[in-house]
Structure 1
Amino acid sequence: MNINNFEKVIYPFFWVEHDKSVSVCLNVGEYKTEIFETREDEGFEGNGYDWASLAQVFLEEKKPEFINIVKFDPEGSMFCAYSSDADALKAFIISFKEACEDKILILDLFSRAELD
């Protein structure tokens, strides 16, 4: 998969390359806000920390082979996952994006996310 195609597949997430690692990020508040609205009364806002909680459940349940490879570093306005293994992070974000597009699956995963 060439980089242009990859960027289209993961959009609105975006890829960032660093010297010794790579990151994939999302500016929150514009994508899949309805997921977080389902638990708004519990304090979920759809911020970067909420996305990281959702991604952690996804990682543990759907991609456990990446648990020690993909890490999260969210901020209030941005979700960010990073790794020194670019191929692992690419596989993670492609599958996470696919999960986000599956409403039943993503709501099920989100039901087990913990408020940070």
Structure 2
Amino acid sequence: MEINELKEVIKPFFWVEHANSFSVCLDVGAYKQEIFDTRADEGFEGNGYDWASLADVFIREKRADLMDIIHFDPEAGMFCAYSSDSEKLKDFILSFKKTCEDETLIKDLFSRAELD
């Protein structure tokens, strides 16, 4: 998939290229906020750390082949996943975005997310 097509498909996530690595990020607070709101009483806010917890469950349960390749570096206002392998990161974000769009599946995965 060509990079401009990828950028369109993964929105609202966005692709960033660095000198020796690649990142995919999300400014949190709007996209899928209703998922996090279902567990607000437990302390989930939908911040970058909460997204990283959700992505961690996704990788462990759905994409264990990427566990040692994709890393997370969240902040309060941003989710960020990164890797030195651009193809594996593309694979991750395409499958993670598809999962995020499946309401039943993403809620099921989020039910096992843990607060950071």
TM-score, length of structure 1 as denominator length = 0.99
Q: Hey, what's the Cα distance between the residues in 2 that align with 1:87 and 1:61?
A: 20
Give the AA of the match of 1:56. Answer: D
Q: Hey, what's the Cα distance between the residues in 2 that align with 1:58 and 1:65?
A: 11
- Identify the residue that residue 104 of structure 1 maps to in structure 2: 104
User: Is structure 2 residue 93 aligned with structure 1 residue 55?
Assistant: no
- Secondary structure class of the residue paired with 1:94: helix
1:82-101 CA-to-partner distances (Å, cap 9, x unmatched) read 00010000000000000000
- Secondary structure class of the residue paired with 2:59: helix
Runs of 4+ in 1 over 4 A off after TM superposition: none
Q: CA RMSD in A?
A: 0.5
Count of residue pairs brought into register by the alignment: 116
TM-score, length of structure 2 as denominator length = 0.99
Q: Hey, what's the Cα distance between the residues in 1 that align with 2:35 and 2:82?
A: 23
- Identify the residue that residue 73 of structure 1 maps to in structure 2: 73
1:44-75 CA-to-partner distances (Å, cap 9, x unmatched) read 00000000000000000010000000000000
- % identical aligned pairs: 68
The alpha-carbon deviation at position 30 of structure 1 amounts to 1.3
- Secondary structure class of the residue paired with 2:46: coil
- Secondary structure class of the residue paired with 1:20: coil
**Equivalent residues in 2 for 1:1-116 (5 A)?**
1-116=1-116
Unmatched runs of 5 consecutive residues or more in structure 1 = none
